[in-house]
Amino acid sequence: MNGLLTSLMGATAQGVLWGIMALGVYITYKLLKISDLTVDGSFALGGCVCAVLILGGMSPALATLIAIIAGLAAGAVTGILHTVFNIPAILSGILTQISLWSINLRIMSGKSNLPLLNSETIISFFVGRSGSSTIESASGFAKALGMTQSTASLIIGIVIAVVIVAILYWFFGTEIGSALRATGNNEAMIRALGVNTNRTKLLALMISNALVSFSGALVAQSQKYADVGMGTGAIVVALASIVIGEVFFKYARNFALKLTSAVVGAIVYFIIRAVVLRLGMNANDMKLLSAIIVAVSLCIPVVTQRIKEKQAYSEEGGEE
């Protein structure tokens, strides 16, 4: 029983951190109606940049900030390819994603992964580890708090997620944020009102990938290593999180709750993963499970709507 609770705690903590990535994808997928495949590359970019800088002696907070800026730049590249050179959004994302694989390898000096076992991170500041001279003060602080790795990751993730949701809620209530949302709803109309939709798309892609990269940096610090392939399948995880979250917040009208649904969906997704793995499922089949969850979640609303329409048509025919 204790093993199950530990697994669920770890899955929840992991879900919150990945939920920040889902928030980034929510902006492009739900608000802008763009399928941005840059995500797989920018997620790994955040982790790789953060790990290299931390190992180079930079403070974890500053390293994380630079990782966010790197994600911002990756989103800008996709945005420029799409808006300036009129390359389709999905192809622009693929081109950037492929490029980032080589870029991430160069950032890590040709190594496929970098361990952070003996380095201070944002997480280790609250957890600490005995025997590590680099984080003795953090270890003392952690002993006073009594936090475990999972607990620290969970609390830090929740605090950051709440702050991000609050900032996004405020931003999308501003004039430029409203224009960004309107671009996704009716691009022709908002362009007729004098809004430069290319700029709103570029801004959305930059914000989205900055959040994705931020999530990658936090996940790398939580799992204590960065890997060039850590972002593989990230877009599927994000889509699954968004779709699952919509099920739980189906009737939510408040925009803040809609943003929160992405994070909640990520938590539920990783809890499902943890439970399935404990039931004996092969870890190599998790990608297949993720794809099935997304496919089923997307199909159910369509099938439900068709059934309702058929029933309504039958009732109308019967009345006549």
Cα atoms in the 13 Å half-sphere on the side-chain side of 296: 9
pLDDT of residue 137: 43
pLDDT tens for the chain, 320 residues long, are 567 788 889 999 999 999 999 999 999 999 999 989 999 999 999 999 999 999 999 999 999 999 999 999 999 999 999 999 999 999 999 999 999 999 999 999 999 999 998 899 999 887 754 434 344 444 445 555 567 888 899 999 999 999 999 999 999 999 999 999 999 999 999 999 899 999 999 999 999 999 999 999 999 999 999 999 999 989 999 998 998 898 889 888 899 999 999 999 999 999 988 988 888 888 788 878 888 878 887 788 788 889 988 888 877 665 55
Residue given tokens 């995880």 in the structure block: 237
Distance set, CA 164 to CA 2, 132, 206 (Å) = 32, 32, 15
Residue 78 lies in a domain: yes
Range(s) of the domain holding residue 115: 2-230
Residue 89 lies in a domain: yes
Helix (H, G, I), strand (E, B) or coil at 67: helix
The two three-digit tokens of residue 61, written as one number: 């907070």
Backbone angles phi, psi at 226, to 5 degrees: -120, 140
pLDDT of residue 136: 44
Region for residue 129 given its phi and psi (left: phi exceeds 0; alpha: psi -120 to 50; beta: otherwise): beta
Residue 282 lies in a domain: no
Residue 281 lies in a domain: no
- pTM comes to 0.91
Give 141: exposed, middle or buried? Use CB within 10 Å, 0-12, 13-18, 19+. Answer: middle
pLDDT of residue 1: 59
* Total number of residues shown for the chain: 320
Q: Determine which helix (DSSP H) or strand (DSSP E) holds 114, and give its type and residue range.
A: strand 113-115
Give 236: exposed, middle or buried? Use CB within 10 Å, 0-12, 13-18, 19+. Answer: middle
The two three-digit tokens of residue 46, written as one number: 């955040």
Contact (CB, 8 A) for 238 and 263: no
Residue 265 lies in a domain: no
Cα atoms in the 13 Å half-sphere on the side-chain side of 14: 17
pLDDT of residue 317: 61
| Interatomic CA distance for residues 45 and 107, integer angstroms | 9
Residue 290 lies in a domain: no
pLDDT of residue 95: 97
Residue 25 lies in a domain: yes
The two three-digit tokens of residue 72, written as one number: 């911002």
Distance set, CA 283 to CA 97, 115, 241, 278, 289 (Å) = 25, 22, 19, 10, 10
* Number of compact structural domains in the chain: 1
Cα Rg of the chain (Å, integer):
21
The two three-digit tokens of residue 179, written as one number: 């224009």
Closest by CA position to 141, among listed 150, 153, 152: 152
pLDDT of residue 127: 76
Helix (H, G, I), strand (E, B) or coil at 79: helix
Residue 288 lies in a domain: no
